[in-house]
C-alpha cells in the first residue's frame, strides 16, 4: 500500500509551526523584560555629595553621580544597538535623529525616576563638550580606515567603511538639592 505524502507533510508543517511559536514566545518574553528595567540607587552612604570634606546634610541623601552615569550608559547603549541595521554615511542625519529621540525619551524617564525619589535631576545633550571631544580624541590609527569625527548636538559620529558609527554622546547633568547644586558632564562612549 502506498501512502500519500500529505500525511508527513502535515506533520512537518505542525512541527515548524511549533518551533516558530516557541521562538516568538521567547522574543516576546525578552521584549517585555526590556521594558521592566529599573534603575538602582546607590546606598545611602555613597549617595551623598561631599563638599569640602564634610557632608552638608547627613539626613538628606542626594544622587550618586555614578548611578546616573550607569543609567545614561544603559540608555545610550540601548539606543545605539537597538537598530542592528548598517546605515550609509549619507543617512547619518536620520541615524542621529533616531538616537537623539530614543535617548531624550530616556532622559525624561531617568529625570522622572529621580523626581519620584525626591531629587531634582536635569539632563541635556552637551554639544560643546561633544564638539571638543570630536576634534581632540577621535578614534583613528594607521591600520584603521576611519573618517574624521563630527559632533551634531552632543552626539559624536564617525564614518567607518562608509557607514555611520555613533562614537559617543556627551550629557550635561545638573543635580539640585535643598543644600547644594552639582553640575557634571559625562562622555558616554559606545562600546
Q: Is the pTM of this model over 0.95?
A: no
Q: What is the pLDDT of residues 121-160, one digit of tens each?
A: 899 999 999 999 998 888 877 777 788 889 999 999 998 8
CA dist., res. 27 & res. 62, Å (int): 38
State the total domains in the chain: 1
Average pLDDT value for residue range 25-46: 48
Of 92, 123, 91, the residue nearest 109 (C-alpha): 123
pLDDT at 46: 33
Whether 22 is covered by a domain: the verdict is no
Position 48 scores a pLDDT of 32
Mean of per-residue pLDDT scores for the chain: 76
Res. 36 pLDDT band, cuts 50 70 90: very low
Residue 179 lies in a domain: yes
Model confidence at 98: pLDDT above 80? yes
Q: Is the pLDDT of residue 50 over 50?
A: no
Tell me the HSE value of 86 on the side-chain side, using a 13 A CA sphere: 6
Indicate whether 57 belongs to any domain.
no
Instruction: Report which DSSP code applies to 4.
Output: P
Q: Which domain holds residue 101?
A: 63-191
Amino acid at each position: 500500500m502506498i501512502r500519500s505524502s500529505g500525511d508527513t507533510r502535515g506533520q512537518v508543517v505542525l512541527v515548524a509551526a511549533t518551533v516558530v511559536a516557541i521562538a516568538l514566545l521567547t522574543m516576546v518574553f525578552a521584549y517585555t523584560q526590556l521594558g521592566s528595567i529599573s534603575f538602582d540607587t546607590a546606598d545611602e552612604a555613597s549617595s551623598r555629595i561631599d563638599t569640602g570634606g564634610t557632608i552638608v546634610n547627613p539626613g538628606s541623601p542626594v544622587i550618586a553621580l555614578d548611578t546616573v552615569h550607569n543609567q545614561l550608559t544603559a540608555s545610550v547603549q540601548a539606543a545605539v544597538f537597538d537598530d542592528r541595521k548598517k546605515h550609509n554615511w549619507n543617512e547619518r542625519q536620520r541615524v542621529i535623529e533616531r538616537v537623539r529621540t530614543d535617548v531624550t525619551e530616556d532622559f525624561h524617564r531617568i529625570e522622572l525616576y529621580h523626581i519620584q525619589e525626591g531629587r531634582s535631576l536635569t539632563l541635556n545633550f552637551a554639544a560643546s563638550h561633544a564638539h571638543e571631544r570630536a576634534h581632540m580624541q577621535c578614534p583613528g590609527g594607521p591600520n584603521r580606515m576611519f573618517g574624521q569625527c563630527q559632533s551634531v548636538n552632543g552626539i559624536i559620529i564617525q564614518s567607518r567603511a562608509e557607514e555611520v558609527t555613533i562614537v559617543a554622546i556627551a550629557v550635561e547633568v545638573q543635580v539640585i538639592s535643598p543644600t547644594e547644586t552639582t553640575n557634571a558632564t559625562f562622555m558616554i562612549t559606545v562600546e
